[in-house]
């Protein structure tokens, strides 16, 4: 794995049990899809680099949380140190969509004093025939809560790359604007290392580093 | 209050102080001839006299000649070094300089013409590897407890105790003292894991010094890189220093180390071999850091819970609970490496390890498997097999084309491999395997913590789980030791024709990372204490409400 990246973002992936969070991550980081997988215990980890602009890579550190209720208290501790998250529901599972609000509330409650940028993900888009949640209502909910919305499928690899790229770009944009900064004792955004060559020519990339608000 | 280990250590310290005054004056201990049947006590006195000698008698020389250069070098070390070194209290710096100075002196006195000798140290080190790693690890777990009781403020005696821990021999003696069994063993060179140490101090001591000056010799040739490895030649020392200063967590320390490496790698992108063999970065790639951080979060939260529960109780309840919690904590200090044969002759494919691990994990009665650890072990085994296949396929220069076996068509491929398979490759494989196994061990502890905190009905007592987990820790650390041994065997075999200054730092590197690995595993294990205490509290309240 290429070791050079300009930032590291920590993203958390949340949503009801069995909506396919781990599969989504496995597809994204590993390029593979497995039909059956054990439920996640507590939290698991993935990592991948994303190139947002030519030569500018961001390392995503992905915290894959358990959807099961019994691990909820563990998961709560992890919001605080995440800069962004994927809030995943299953488009064939109405209930998982209805729980989106709860997830958001919980996240808001535990992320303070920081902020967290979510992307709403309607997963399992390959099962369109069994769809229980229309794209319109999902988009509406996303808009109301200040999120973007995307539909993905880990099975046929639809929009998997896109979903992570969209979220990463959004965070990167906020970082460039100075809305988000690197802070001591916060793991959400970390500054990476740029080889000397790149360093001198791309001074502009590094404003976030100085922004220790 | 802590456990026997604690008292042992402080006990030892006092003796040590006495010895210091003796040794300063007369050096009585050192005059004992080697090989004489010594009681552990007098062995120890001798040991202490020796280590005192090492540190105490040198400072004038160091201060005047190498104070500055040692300082500079240490900066270089912190630049290049992978191993965590938390911002240390200031006291040990002096000691470190002294050590460096001492080492420097040592090397200069040995320098020219002694390569033949150093050519051997790798091999001799090899034979003592397992026990060294094991005992270093053990020393550290005791050091942790010591650090906990000392509230993070090292007294001068503690600082000197750190020096004693240097190269792990201090631990050896704590061991010998604390268990009567070990005591009897230490007088007989053949029995037990510490048998090889039991003629005792001379062997251990010389190994330590050999490591140090072997590396330092090489330093003359290859520069800082070795120094960096070298400065870490004293895991006990550094580690204790880190733990004394308890406000940095293990994951923080490791993260800093990894970041230093990344910085380093970013500076020298071109050298890929460099990149591959960075333990810290590999450890992170295997998600070891993340699991460690998550485990720390759980541990801290649990600690808070335990405190608040204790706070809410009163009278006899507090006392009872405290006792129960203390018992659990005790179980965590029982990590001892079996005195039985350290040399495992199971061919080293790790099947024994996997079997043992599975059994222990099933005793915990939580839904966790050893799959990932088994896989890590298998990967390591595959790397070793690959390396040794190359070795056996390597044509002997003296007898070409003889007895190459049935796989004739595969031969040319193998020969190609030989070209590619350098000692650096094996070194990289070793570091990779150690990083992977360690990361998976920490992941395992993390999963165990999550499951213990959230398993509905604990039908296994927290105390029993603590005991089982401490066995797991032993199994893991043993495996780390065994792996490092196998890899260094490969290194020594394949590197027979290499120059010592190439080979030695590689071997040292493997041993050091192995010993670091054992330390991380044990530190992670200690993070489970509050988790099991919370589980104890939970099961208590369950039984009372029923």
**Domain A7-191 belongs in CATH node 3.30.300.30:** no
Question: Is the pLDDT assigned to residue B492 strictly greater than 60?
Answer: yes
Share of chain A above pLDDT 70, in %: 89
CB–CB contact A45 B291 (8 Å): yes
Determine the pLDDT at residue A113: 85
What value does the mean pLDDT take over residues A90-103?
A: 97
Determine the pLDDT at residue B247: 53
Share of chain B above pLDDT 70, in %: 43
Cβ-contact B174, B142 below 8 angstroms:
yes
What value does the mean pLDDT take over residues B360-384?
A: 88
Q: Which of A82-96, B229-243, B452-466, B472-486 is predicted least confidently?
A: B229-243
Determine the pLDDT at residue B82: 37
Q: What are phi and psi of B175, to 5 degrees?
A: -60, -50
Closest partner residue to A45 (CB to CB) among B275, B287, B367 is B287
**If pLDDT is split at 50, 70 and 90, which confidence band does B545 have?**
low
CB–CB contact B290 A63 (8 Å): yes
Determine the pLDDT at residue B268: 58
Question: Is the pLDDT assigned to residue B173 strictly greater than 60?
Answer: no
Question: Is the pLDDT assigned to residue A210 strictly greater than 90?
Answer: no
CB atoms within 10 A of CB B172: 28
More confident call, A126 vs A38: A126
Residue spans of the domains in chain A: they are 7-191
Which segments within A29-83 are labelled E, that is strand? 43-53, 56-65
Question: Is the pLDDT assigned to residue B143 strictly greater than 50?
Answer: no
Question: Is the pLDDT assigned to residue A110 strictly greater than 70?
Answer: yes
The two beta strands, A84-90 and A117-123, are parallel
Q: Which of A80-94, B372-386, B411-425 is predicted least confidently?
A: B411-425
Select from A174, A198, A166, A195 the least CA-distant residue to A115.
A174
DSSP secondary structure, B441-508, as one string: HHHHHHHHHHHHHH-S---S-HHHHHHHHHHHHHHHHHHHHHHHHHHHHHHHHHGGGS-HHHHHHHHH
Determine the pLDDT at residue B84: 44
What is the rounded CA–CA span in Å between residue B442 and residue A45? 13
The 10s digit of each residue's pLDDT in B311-334 is 998 888 889 999 999 999 998 885
Cβ-contact B124, B206 below 8 angstroms:
no
Residues 294-353, chain B: which have Cβ within 8 Å of A? Answer: 294, 297-298, 301
Cβ-contact B450, B297 below 8 angstroms:
no
Nearest CA in chain A to B248: A185
Question: Distance from B256 to chain A by nearest Cα, in Å?
Answer: 12
The 10s digit of each residue's pLDDT in B76-109 is 333 333 344 444 444 444 444 444 444 444 444 4
Site of tokens 């061919």: B347
What b/e string do you get for B459-471 counting C-beta neighbours within 10 Å, with b at 16 or more? ebebbebbbbbbb
Closest partner residue to B265 (CB to CB) among A3, A63, A74 is A3
What is the rounded CA–CA span in Å between residue B57 and residue B27? 11
What value does the mean pLDDT take over residues B212-217?
A: 40
CB atoms within 10 A of CB B58: 18
Residues 42-61, chain A: which have Cβ within 8 Å of B? Answer: 42-43, 45-47, 61
Length of chain B: 546
Closest partner residue to B263 (CB to CB) among A41, A63, A193 is A193
Question: Is the pLDDT assigned to residue B476 strictly greater than 80?
Answer: yes
What value does the mean pLDDT take over residues B431-443?
A: 95
Determine the pLDDT at residue B276: 54
Select from B358, B291, B301 the least CA-distant residue to B520.
B291
Determine the pLDDT at residue B479: 92
Check residue A84 and report its DSSP letter: E
Cβ-contact A104, A118 below 8 angstroms:
yes
CB–CB contact B454 A71 (8 Å): yes
CB–CB contact B297 A192 (8 Å): no
Q: Is B334 helix (H, G, I), strand (E, B) or coil?
A: coil
What value does the mean pLDDT take over residues B116-135?
A: 39
Question: Is the pLDDT assigned to residue B33 strictly greater than 80?
Answer: no
- Judge if the upstream peptide bond of residue A113 is cis by omega within 30 degrees of 0: yes
Q: What are phi and psi of A62, to 5 degrees?
A: -110, 120
Determine the pLDDT at residue B172: 42
What is the rounded CA–CA span in Å between residue A142 and residue A155? 24
**If pLDDT is split at 50, 70 and 90, which confidence band does B477 have?**
very high
Determine the pLDDT at residue B544: 65
DSSP secondary structure, B416-445, as one string: HHHHH--HHHHHHHHHHHHHHHHHHHHHHH
Bridge partners, A121 (sequence order) = A88, A150
CB-based contacts of A19, cutoff 8 Å, min separation 6: A67, A88, A89, A90, A93, A96, A123, A124
At B261, list the tokens: 């490496």
Closest partner residue to B450 (CB to CB) among A47, A74, A187 is A74
Q: A193: which chain B residues are within 8 Å (Cβ-Cβ)?
A: 259, 262-263, 265-266
What is the rounded CA–CA span in Å between residue B44 and residue B48? 6
The 10s digit of each residue's pLDDT in B250-300 is 777 777 777 777 777 666 554 444 445 789 889 999 999 999 999 999 999
What does the mean pLDDT of chain B come to?
A: 63
Question: Distance from B262 to chain A by nearest Cα, in Å?
Answer: 7
Could you tell me the CA-to-CA distances from B345 to B342, B349, B486 in Å, in that order? 9, 10, 11
Determine the pLDDT at residue B457: 63
The 10s digit of each residue's pLDDT in A7-51 is 999 999 999 999 999 999 999 999 999 988 889 999 999 999 999
What does the mean pLDDT of chain A come to?
A: 89
The 10s digit of each residue's pLDDT in B43-84 is 444 444 444 443 443 444 434 344 444 444 444 333 333 344
CB–CB contact B262 A78 (8 Å): no
Angle at the Cα of B124 (from B508 to B224), degrees rounded to 5? Answer: 25
Global pTM reads 0.64
CB–CB contact B269 A45 (8 Å): no
More confident call, B58 vs B440: B440
What b/e string do you get for A190-211 counting C-beta neighbours within 10 Å, with b at 16 or more? bebbbeeebeeeeeebeebeeb
DSSP secondary structure, B143-163, as one string: HHHHHHHTTT---HHHHHHHH
């Amino acid at each position: 794995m290429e070791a050079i990246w300009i930032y590291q973002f920590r993203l958390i992936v949340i949503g009801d049990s069995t909506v396919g969070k781990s599969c989504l991550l496995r597809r994204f980081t590993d390029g593979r899809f497995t039909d059956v997988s054990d439920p996640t215990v507590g939290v698991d980890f993935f990592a991948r680099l994303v190139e947002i602009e030519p030569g500018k890579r961001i390392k995503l550190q992905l915290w894959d949380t358990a959807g099961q209720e019994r691990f909820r208290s563990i998961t709560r501790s992890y919001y605080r140190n995440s800069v962004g998250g994927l809030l995943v529901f299953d488009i064939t599972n109405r209930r998982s969509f209805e729980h989106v609000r709860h997830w958001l509330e919980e996240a808001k409650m535990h992320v303070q004093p920081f902020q967290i940028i979510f992307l709403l993900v309607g997963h399992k888009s390959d099962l369109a025939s069994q769809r229980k949640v229309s794209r319109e209502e999902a988009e509406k909910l996303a808009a109301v809560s200040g999120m973007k919305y995307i539909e993905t499928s880990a099975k046929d690899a639809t929009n998997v790359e896109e979903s992570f790229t969209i979220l990463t770009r959004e965070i990167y944009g906020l970082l460039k604007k100075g809305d988000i900064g690197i802070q001591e004792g916060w793991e959400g955004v970390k500054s990476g290392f740029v080889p000397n060559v790149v360093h001198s020519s791309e001074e502009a990339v590094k404003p976030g580093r100085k922004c220790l608000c | 209050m802590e456990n026997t280990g604690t008292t042992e250590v402080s006990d030892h310290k006092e003796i040590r102080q006495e010895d210091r005054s003796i040794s300063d004056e007369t050096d009585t201990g050192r005059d004992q001839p080697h090989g004489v049947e010594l009681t552990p006590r007098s062995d120890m006195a001798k040991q202490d006299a020796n280590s005192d000698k090492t540190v105490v008698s040198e400072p004038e020389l160091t201060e005047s000649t190498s104070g500055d250069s040692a300082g500079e070098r240490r900066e270089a070390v912190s630049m290049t070094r992978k191993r965590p070194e938390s911002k240390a209290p200031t006291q040990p710096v002096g000691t470190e300089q002294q050590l460096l100075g001492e080492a420097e002196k040592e090397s200069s006195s040995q320098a020219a013409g002694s390569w033949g000798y150093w050519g051997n140290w790798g091999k001799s080190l090899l034979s003592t590897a397992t026990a060294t790693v094991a005992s270093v690890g053990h020393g550290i777990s005791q050091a942790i407890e010591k650090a906990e009781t000392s509230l993070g403020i090292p007294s001068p005696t503690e600082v000197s105790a750190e020096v004693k821990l240097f190269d792990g021999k201090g631990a050896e003696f704590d061991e010998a003292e604390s268990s009567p069994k070990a005591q009897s063993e230490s007088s007989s060179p053949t029995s037990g894991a510490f048998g090889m140490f039991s003629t005792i101090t001379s062997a251990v001591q010389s190994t330590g010094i050999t490591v140090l000056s072997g590396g330092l010799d090489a330093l003359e040739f290859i520069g800082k890189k070795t120094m960096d490895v070298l400065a870490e030649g004293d895991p006990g020392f550094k580690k204790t220093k880190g733990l004394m200063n308890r406000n940095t967590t293990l994951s923080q320390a490791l993260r800093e180390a990894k970041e230093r490496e990344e910085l380093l790698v970013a500076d020298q992108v071109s050298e890929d071999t460099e990149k591959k063999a960075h333990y810290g970065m590999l450890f992170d790639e295997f998600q070891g850091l993340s699991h460690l951080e998550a485990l720390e979060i759980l541990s801290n939260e649990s600690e808070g819970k335990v405190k608040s529960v204790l706070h809410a109780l009163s009278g006899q309840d507090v006392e009872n609970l405290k006792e129960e919690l203390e018992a659990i904590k005790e179980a965590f200090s029982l990590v001892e490496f079996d005195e039985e044969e350290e040399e495992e002759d199971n061919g080293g494919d790790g099947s024994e390890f996997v079997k043992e691990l599975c059994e222990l994990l099933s005793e915990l009665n939580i839904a966790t498997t050893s799959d990932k650890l088994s896989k890590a072990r298998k990967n390591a085994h595959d790397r070793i097999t690959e390396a040794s296949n190359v070795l056996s396929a390597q044509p002997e220069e003296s007898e070409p084309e003889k007895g190459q076996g049935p796989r004739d068509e595969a031969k040319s491929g193998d020969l190609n491999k030989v070209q590619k398979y350098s000692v650096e490759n094996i070194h990289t494989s070793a570091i990779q395997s150690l990083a992977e196994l360690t990361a998976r061990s920490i992941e395992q502890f993390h999963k165990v913590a999550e499951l213990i905190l959230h398993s509905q009905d604990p039908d296994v007592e927290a105390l029993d789980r603590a005991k089982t987990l401490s066995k797991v820790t032993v199994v893991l650390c043993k495996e780390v030791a065994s792996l490092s041994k196998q890899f260094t065997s490969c290194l020594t075999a394949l590197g027979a024709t290499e120059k010592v200054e190439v080979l030695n730092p590689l071997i040292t590197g493997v041993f050091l990372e192995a010993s670091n690995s054992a330390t991380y595993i044990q530190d992670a294990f200690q993070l489970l204490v509050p988790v099991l205490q919370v589980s104890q509290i939970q099961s208590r309240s369950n039984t009372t409400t029923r």
